Structure 1
Amino acid sequence: MAYRILIVDDSTFFRRRITQILEQDNELEVVGEAKDGLEALAEVKRLKPDVVTMDVEMPVLDGISAVKNIMAMAPVPIIMFSSLTSEGAKATLDALDAGALDFLPKKFEDIALNRQEAVRLLQSRVKALCLKKSALGKSSSSISRPANNEFLLSRPPPKVTTQASQNSRQESSQMTHNYGCLAIGASTGGPVALQKLLTALPANFKTPIIVVQHMPGTFTKAFAKRLNDLCKIQVREAEQGDTLLAGVCYIAPGGKQMSVQGRANSARLIISEAEKFPECVYKPSVDVTFESICDVYAGNVLAVILTGMGADGKEGCRKLKHKGATIWAQDEKSSVVYGMPQAVTVAKIAQHNYDIEQMAGRIKAEMLK
């Protein structure tokens, strides 16, 4: 049976275009359309789709308000379409706060190599979200923050481990680290996961934090600003030549590649045009950044792979682990898409898997002891 898709957009042309693309895949069926957010609410209730594609700007009821209402009424995975502008970035991040799980620019060819790749990208992103419907609930789809703006992680709950982590427990318990940095890679579902994690870190965090999130270039600056407003640590979009400082989080700029160079006590960031790494599908790439981190910090790294499609980060984590680094991954249950975390887990690279609600507490216990 095909997955059922509802398309919400005020443009008849765009609705037709998305329908044609999705229905090229026999596993996807467009079962309904809506031209505004109010119609979307009625159609979600009537059709019970597996995934909703949602425009941001619409008459009667806008996309962000529609997402909030759908997640309160009948939670369903939602992928947003937005413009590649600073205003579009802010609106998309608002939609993710409201409960949407993923996003693509309306001109999704802008983040693909060609039309065929763009079609495959859209189809795969929608199918990945279809698999989340049965497990979706308001607690896993939206960001819930206590009134004091700090997640209650002072007493970490029991950890979730995989067979790989059980096999490596004795090895890792014998290793000691003077951590030089925390490195994080993420893709689909990453913005929400990163916000949950980073808002829980204290201002006196002892190392730099390096984040690679698959995201268009116009989005990363807005994302970094939003995190900086919410977090106790400083968060900024990385710039060429930045010297890595303790307690500062550096977000890799979208559409480019970020590397770390120098020595551990005076490392700096190199931002390169994506064309210098023609073999890399992702811009930025977790593998590119993590492999460079290995050359600077060797094994004194805690690397964390969060939710996301594909396997970006696996080879970078493999190289880091070979040097003695600690590798963790988000668990399947709390991942929007269990692709990147699964890749490092199945390859027996990750020593532990944690629920995203536990991750910050585990990091603090590991790095601030």
Structure 2
Amino acid sequence: MTVRVLVVDDSAFFRRRVTEILEQNSRLEVIGSANDGREAVDKAKSLRPDVITMDIEMPVMNGIDAVKEIMRSAPCPILMFSSLTHEGATATLNALEAGAADFLPKKFEDIARNRDEAVKTLQDRVLAIANDTGARSTRAATPPPSPASRSSTPLTRSPATRGSSGSALDRIRQRSEQRQRQRDEATAPASVASTSSLTINRAYQILAIGTSTGGPVALQKILTQLPADFPYPIVMVQHMPAAFTKAFSQRLDGLCKVRVKEAEDGDVLRPGQAYLAPGGKQMIVDGTSSNARLRIKEDNSGRVTYKPSVDITFASLSKLFGGKVLGVILTGMGADGREGSRMLKQKGATIWAQDEASCVVYGMPQAVASAGISSRSISLNEMGKAIIKEVGYH
């Protein structure tokens, strides 16, 4: 099935460039374009694309407001294009909170080492969010009404196609509603452990979380539920550019009871403190289990795809903490974290995965689940509660 894409940007040159890149892949079809947020909302309703690529800064209506309106009126996976600045990071995080599925730097040279790799990255990202959010349906077999008839004629399907197409549309709407509830609940005060007592579970010494696409909202959802006296340090690896991780950690720190910071070389791991791996580098843990420190290292080897990499961080945890790790793999494309989780599992650690229904992209969690590494698949809505109970709150 072909994935139908709407390209939104106020630059005609950028719209053409994105269109040319996407249509090099036979599985992708650009069905329209828009040069501002208001036009994007209108075309999202009329064309019903499978995926939208969206700029942030645009006239008439900006990308963030357009995302909010589209997710209310015509839910659809949205890929944001962002500048790699602090302001761009903040705006992109706002767009993800509003319902966007993922983002890429607007300068393609910032996402890959060469043009061919950049082209593939964009194509793969669009296909991933289309497939995993259930956007594809039999709409391709039943084109939308012509412009002349849209205002007066409802979109209809034959009995042979109504069931499968309807279920796909229901799925994207349900996921949109679920994510809106998750975003609303993520900013609410945590109350899970407010009246509970703590008996520390000595089976653990650290909580480790790895994630990618969809991770910012997922991490916010979980961390805002944790109490200030959370008994372990928390290390987090989120696939993100260097310009984004500091802004993201600051946002989380303002929302959470636990303290959150972008990890720095030499940081001593302390209970109730969450450390976010800085973008573009690798984060490992060394020292001793009772006096563990973070090491932040440059990685110019080209051997590792992800910087930061969940595998590298989790592997270092297996050497230092052995089985006393609670590892959690959240939403994300690819399989980063599978081998690191395998090493932890071999030492006796506990590995959980986010369940498919609540993932933006069920790639990383599926990798650990299908390999038999994770012991539980948990909904994002339940993950924070499950962690709190596991560490010793009753």
TM-score higher than 0.5: yes
1:200-279 paired onto structure 2 within 5 Å: 200-275=225-300, 277-279=301-303
Asked if residue 141 in structure 1 is aligned to residue 165 in structure 2, the reply is: no
Per the alignment, in what secondary structure is the counterpart of residue 243 of structure 2? helix
**How far did residue 146 of structure 1 move?**
4.6
Asked whether the 8 Å contact 1:261–1:267 carries over to 2, the reply is yes
Give the gaps of 5 or more residues in structure 1.
156-175
- In structure 2, C-alpha distance between the alignment counterparts of 1:323 and 1:218, rounded to whole Å: 35
Q: For the structure 1 residues 330 and 62, does the alpha-carbon distance in structure 2 shift closer, same or farther, using more than 3 Å as the test?
A: same
Per the alignment, in what secondary structure is the counterpart of residue 292 of structure 1? helix
Q: Deviations over 1:231-254 (max 9, x none)?
A: 000000000100000000000000
Asked whether the 8 Å contact 2:341–2:373 carries over to 1, the reply is yes
Per the alignment, in what secondary structure is the counterpart of residue 363 of structure 1? helix
The aligned counterpart of 2:83 is 83
**How far did residue 153 of structure 1 move?**
4.8
- In structure 2, C-alpha distance between the alignment counterparts of 1:52 and 1:7, rounded to whole Å: 6
Q: For the structure 1 residues 292 and 146, does the alpha-carbon distance in structure 2 shift closer, same or farther, using more than 3 Å as the test?
A: closer
Per the alignment, in what secondary structure is the counterpart of residue 90 of structure 1? helix
The aligned counterpart of 2:66 is 66
Asked whether the 8 Å contact 1:100–1:141 carries over to 2, the reply is no
- In structure 1, C-alpha distance between the alignment counterparts of 2:213 and 2:78, rounded to whole Å: 12
**How far did residue 115 of structure 1 move?**
1.3
Asked whether the 8 Å contact 1:205–1:368 carries over to 2, the reply is no
Per the alignment, in what secondary structure is the counterpart of residue 145 of structure 1? helix
Q: TM-score, normalised by structure 1?
A: 0.91
**How far did residue 117 of structure 1 move?**
1.2
**Identity, % of aligned pairs?**
58
The aligned counterpart of 2:333 is 309
User: Which of 343, 348, 351 is matched with 2:367 structurally?
Assistant: 343
The aligned counterpart of 1:52 is 52
**How far did residue 144 of structure 1 move?**
3.0
Q: Deviations over 1:175-217 (max 9, x none)?
A: x852110000000001011110111000000000000000000
User: Which of 300, 313, 326 is matched with 1:289 structurally?
Assistant: 313
Q: Which deviates more from structure 2 when the two are superposed, residues 138-147 or residues 48-57?
A: 138-147
Larger radius of gyration: 2
Give the gaps of 5 or more residues in structure 2.
136-167, 195-200
**2:46 is aligned with what amino acid?**
R
Q: For the structure 1 residues 114 and 291, does the alpha-carbon distance in structure 2 shift closer, same or farther, using more than 3 Å as the test?
A: same
- In structure 1, C-alpha distance between the alignment counterparts of 2:186 and 2:272, rounded to whole Å: 23
The aligned counterpart of 1:10 is 10
Per the alignment, in what secondary structure is the counterpart of residue 121 of structure 1? helix
The aligned counterpart of 2:150 is none
- In structure 1, C-alpha distance between the alignment counterparts of 2:190 and 2:71, rounded to whole Å: 22
Asked whether the 8 Å contact 1:328–1:351 carries over to 2, the reply is yes
Per the alignment, in what secondary structure is the counterpart of residue 250 of structure 1? strand
User: Which of 207, 216, 237 is matched with 1:182 structurally?
Assistant: 207
- In structure 2, C-alpha distance between the alignment counterparts of 1:147 and 1:201, rounded to whole Å: 11
Cα RMSD over matched residues?
1.6
Q: For the structure 1 residues 147 and 211, does the alpha-carbon distance in structure 2 shift closer, same or farther, using more than 3 Å as the test?
A: closer
Asked whether the 8 Å contact 1:304–1:328 carries over to 2, the reply is yes
**1:112 is aligned with what amino acid?**
A
The aligned counterpart of 1:300 is 324
**How far did residue 108 of structure 1 move?**
2.9
**How far did residue 147 of structure 1 move?**
9.8
**How far did residue 138 of structure 1 move?**
2.9
The aligned counterpart of 1:162 is none
Per the alignment, in what secondary structure is the counterpart of residue 262 of structure 1? strand
The aligned counterpart of 2:112 is 112
**How far did residue 331 of structure 1 move?**
0.6
Q: TM-score, normalised by structure 2?
A: 0.86
The aligned counterpart of 1:367 is 391
**1:287 is aligned with what amino acid?**
D
The aligned counterpart of 1:160 is none
Q: Deviations over 1:17-66 (max 9, x none)?
A: 00011111111000000000010011011100000100000001000010
The aligned counterpart of 2:139 is none
**2:322 is aligned with what amino acid?**
A
